[in-house]
Chains A and B, each alone.
Chain A
Amino acid sequence: MLKSDLRFIVIDDFSTMRKIVKKNLLEMGFVNVQEAEDGQIAWDYLQKAKVEGKPFHFIVSDWNMPNMQGIELLKLCRGDDAYAKTPFVMVTAEGEQKQIIEALKSGCTDYIVKPYAPNVIKEKMTKIFNKFDLQNAA
């Protein structure tokens, strides 16, 4: 799959982290990035994409957001046949072990604690691309 064909969705209630993650992805050559302001808006985008037969390939989400939190979105995705195995990375200021464990038990692929250095997200993404069936895009 070409990098330009991979569809990402980046979810955060503040535009700051959406911009930073999107910039990181663009630098890696991924140009198809949808932004969403909370878990509910993201879920709507995810369902719409599924119905259209073009589900997202990669989900990057904050934890603490209004309307629907990232952890709820993660659980919904893992219960949905289209997103049960889609890479889901939590990028959050929630850095406590109990939260990390809860996310991983709920099926989170990887976990990045904010603040993070610019190279961290690129390293994590590359590892995930190698682990999943996205090697050719890495």
Chain B
Amino acid sequence: MSDVTKLAHKNPLLNSEVIQAFVESVKNTICTMTTLSITAEKPYVDSLLQVQTEIAGVVGITSDENRGSLILSFSKAAILEIHNQMLGETETTLSQSVADVVGEISNMIYGTSKSKLNKIGYNFQMSIPTIVRGSFEFIHKSKSLTIMMPFTINGQHKFMVAVSVE
């Protein structure tokens, strides 16, 4: 059995239903909690997990067979737009209130994705999101597969959802 075939049997990210579940969960969360329009661009594989951002939410993905991370990384403009829409407040800095919105959105997206995926036979567990602010980079584990899912809100502000699973 080739390495790719082995991975296909083990890594859920090689199942298009899994990627679709994350994409739909992101769209559903933003559309339900705000009146912003959201466009999903084409997902792609990133061998390096290169995420450059100003603020991000990170949720640990665990199941009996897999470990990984869901990372939502936002530009300042994108997350301020979402924050101000969700809460009806006007923030201009990456405050604690904005960080909490990142955490809550991460929680909702992972929760919705988990429900969809566990219905089709996976066994993902819930975990509590962590929020990181400032300049940072994520480390890609050699055995992981990472799918990058870019989104645009209101046709101008971009954010990235990365799912990395080994």
Contact = CB atoms under 8 A, between A and B. Distances in A.
Q: Does A associate with B in a complex?
A: yes
Interface in B122-143: 126-128
Interface stretch (A28-36, A76-84, A111-119, A125-133): A111-119
B23 to A, nearest CB: 15
Given A14-B104, A66-B128, A94-B126, A114 B87 contact: no
B108 interface: yes
Interface in B98-118: 100-101, 103-104, 107-108, 110-112, 114-115, 118
Nearest to B110: A93
A93 B32 CA distance: 13
Q: Size class of B's contact patch? A: 20 to 34
B32 A115 contact: yes
Contact of B104 (A16, A65, A95): A16
Given A65-B128, A93-B126, A94-B126, A16 B110 contact: no
Interface string A7-35: 00000011111011001000000000000
A15 B107 contact: no
A3 to B, nearest CB: 22
Nearest to B131: A14
Which of A14, A19, A64, A96 has most chain B Cβ within 10 Å?
A: A14
Give the interface SS of chain A, mostly helix, strand, loop or mixed: loop
Nearest to A16: B104
A95 B111 contact: yes
B111 A13 contact: no
Which of B28, B97, B115 has most chain A Cβ within 10 Å?
A: B115
Contacts of A17: 104
Nearest to B126: A64
B128 A93 contact: no
A66 B97 CA distance: 18
Contact of A20 (B29, B86, B107): B86
A92 B110 CA distance: 12
A117 B31 CA distance: 9
A114 B100 contact: no
A121 to B, nearest CB: 12
A117 B29 CA distance: 10
B86 to A, nearest CB: 7
A92 B97 contact: no
Given A63-B126, A115-B112, A116-B32, 19 more contacts: A13-B103, A14-B100, A14-B103, A15-B96, A15-B100, A16-B86, A16-B97, A16-B100, A17-B104, A20-B86, A23-B87, A64-B126, A64-B128, A92-B111, A95-B115, A96-B114, A114-B107, A115-B33, A117-B32
